[in-house]
Amino acid sequence: MTSRRLPVGDGALIQIVDAALADARRRSGAWLECRPGCTQCCVGVFAISPLDAARLRRGMVRLKESDPERAGRVRARARDSVARLSAEFPGDTLTGELHDGEEAEERFAKFGNDEACPVLDPETGLCDLYGARPMTRRTFGPPVRVEDGLGVCELCFHGATDEQIAECEMIPDPDDVEGKLLEKLEKKGLRGRTIVAFCVT
């Protein structure tokens, strides 16, 4: 399903998204509550792309090289998470790949909403693979365009008007670099979404 090798261009994608996040943070000012130790976006299972999975796996390799004990704790939390989630997992528990289709999507929407991300260090409240985090977590917090308007973290923008929120909109990947990289991976046979716990075990 996924590989540790990242396609050429992933580094550029990260720079684009991180620059967009920095700009959104600057414009959001005090409206944005995201701080180290805030774990709002770290609870609840979410789907990740093959590109996210490859980035996380590479991050795990690097963490194992630099801090084997911490990497071991991440893997142990991930194994525990997989054990808790497997019975209801709307996908293949051997590969970790999520099933496609409407029924699977409905099951996933109700799945693992109270499960902490295994990469979250429960003692510090920090992400052990912050530099390798998936796109949905790189863009969490500031207003981002979704199907029915602007999505924003429920802890942020309290008291802000719709206009004030719109002024802080983050456009994370205006040229769809991520989509092009995912197409490259798909041509190599790497497709299918998974979740963080299956990815880092």
Q: What is the mean pLDDT of residues 29-42?
A: 92
Specify if 106 maps to a domain.
yes
Mean pLDDT of the chain: 93
What percent of the chain shows pLDDT beyond 70? 98
Specify if 3 maps to a domain.
no
User: What's the pLDDT band for 98 if we cut at 50, 70, 90?
Assistant: very high
**Cβ–Cβ under 8 Å, residues 196 and 134:** yes
Specify if 196 maps to a domain.
yes
pLDDT at 5 over 80: no
Specify if 20 maps to a domain.
yes
Specify if 2 maps to a domain.
no
Question: How many domains is the chain partitioned into structurally?
Answer: 1
> What is the per-residue pLDDT for 193?
96
pLDDT at 106 over 50: yes
d(CA 91, CA 93): 6
User: What's the pLDDT band for 4 if we cut at 50, 70, 90?
Assistant: low
Specify if 27 maps to a domain.
yes
Q: 123-176, pLDDT tens digit by residue?
A: 999 999 999 999 999 999 999 988 788 989 999 999 999 999 999 999 999 999
For residue 142, give the DSSP letter: S
Q: What is the mean pLDDT of residues 87-93?
A: 96
Specify if 1 maps to a domain.
no
pTM for this entry: 0.91
Spell out the residues 6+ positions from residue 39 whose beta carbon is closer than 8 angstroms to its own: 116, 120, 125
Specify if 163 maps to a domain.
yes
DSSP-H helix ranges across the chain: 10-28, 50-66, 68-85, 102-109, 135-138, 162-167, 177-187, 196-200
**Range of 179's domain?**
10-200
